Amino acid sequence: MARSVSVGDVVAPGQALARLDPTDLMPAVQAQQAQLDAVRIERNLASVELERLRGLKAQNFVSQSALDRQQSILDGAQSRLAAAEAQLRQARNAMDFQLLKADVAGVVTAVEAEVGQVVSAGQTVLRIAQTGEREIAINIPEADLARARAIGQWRVTLPALGSRELTGRFREIAPIADPASRTFPARMTLSGPLDGVALGMTASAQAMQAPGTAFVLPLSALQSRDGQPRVWKVDRATSTVQPVAVKTAGLLDDTVRVTEGVVAGDLIVIAGANLLVAGQKVRLPDPAQAAR
């Protein structure tokens, strides 16, 4: 029947957002009120009759069975009165639900029903995003789930805000993977200077770990054998290659971070790693290229 907010409006808890037409529910409320009045009159009459019979019983003009029968009539009327009151409350609650109110402070992000539209119970009319906190939604690959849970803080950057960095902490991680992507949806709460952080922006989260030495190599340098990642190290003296097991610490676009297995100055094969065998002789690049 009416809508008092639009997309982008800031709302407060308890604020009226929209009103449904109560015409169909008003007769039900009136009928329940009439039923309640009738049952209340019946209860009052039974109570008066019980008091009269008690006086007569005191003078031995009526039997105890007549008194007990009237007491049961009063008890039944009292039960029907309680049922009628509950039905009236239910009808009034339905009327109260015709007025849609905001339950939290936030901003209207979507309007999915217009004035004059017929809606059904449970249908979405408005969407409101809370303004108290900012969160980002991310999806964690199943192979990284345990590592992600173990990390306490994350460094979050938003391309729209330039170099500003925010701190993120997981608020929740879904216990079940998405059946299509096989990733675990998660929510990360942001803290820091949130001015300018608008709903719908894209963000990047990077784990904040203790400082340590890591070498960034192209993904093409990495090879896996029996589940163990390795790279091919070149012996400068003999120009031969040998496989070296390494420990990785995550991917960075088309590169990989290697924390164990290589040291500064090692010459690593970055192309054709899947074609090599141990002890194979290779051609070394010129010294200037190798230095780079």
What is the per-residue pLDDT across 161-218, written as a single tens digit (0 to 9) for each? 888 889 999 999 999 999 998 999 999 998 888 888 888 889 988 887 655 678 889 9
What pTM was computed for the model? Answer: 0.45
Q: How many angstroms separate the CA atoms of 137 and 135, rounded?
A: 7
Confidence of residue 96 (pLDDT cuts 50, 70, 90): confident
Res 275: pLDDT? 87
The percent of residues above 90 in pLDDT, for the chain, comes to: 33
Query: Which numeric CATH code is attached to 22-97?
Result: 1.10.287
Q: Per-residue pLDDT for 80 more than 90? A: yes
Give the fold, CATH level 3, of 215-291.
2.40.420
Average pLDDT over residues 86-114: 87
Res 215: pLDDT? 87
Res 288: pLDDT? 60
Q: For the chain, what is the mean pLDDT?
A: 87
What is the per-residue pLDDT across 102-132, written as a single tens digit (0 to 9) for each? 988 888 989 998 998 888 888 899 998 887 7
What is the per-residue pLDDT across 9-62, written as a single tens digit (0 to 9) for each? 889 998 999 998 888 778 888 899 999 999 999 999 999 999 999 999 899 888
Nearest to 16 by CA among 96, 91, 130: 96
How many CB atoms neighbour CB 5 within 10 A? 19
> Cα torsion at 167, 171, 172, 178 (round to 10°)?
-40
Extract the tokens encoding 99: 């007025």
Q: Does domain 135-207 have CATH number 2.30.29.30?
A: no
In the chain, domain spans: 22-97, 135-207, 215-291
Average pLDDT over residues 253-268: 86
* Helices and strands in the chain, H and E counts: 4, 17
Res 212: pLDDT? 64
Q: How many angstroms separate the CA atoms of 258 and 25, rounded?
A: 68
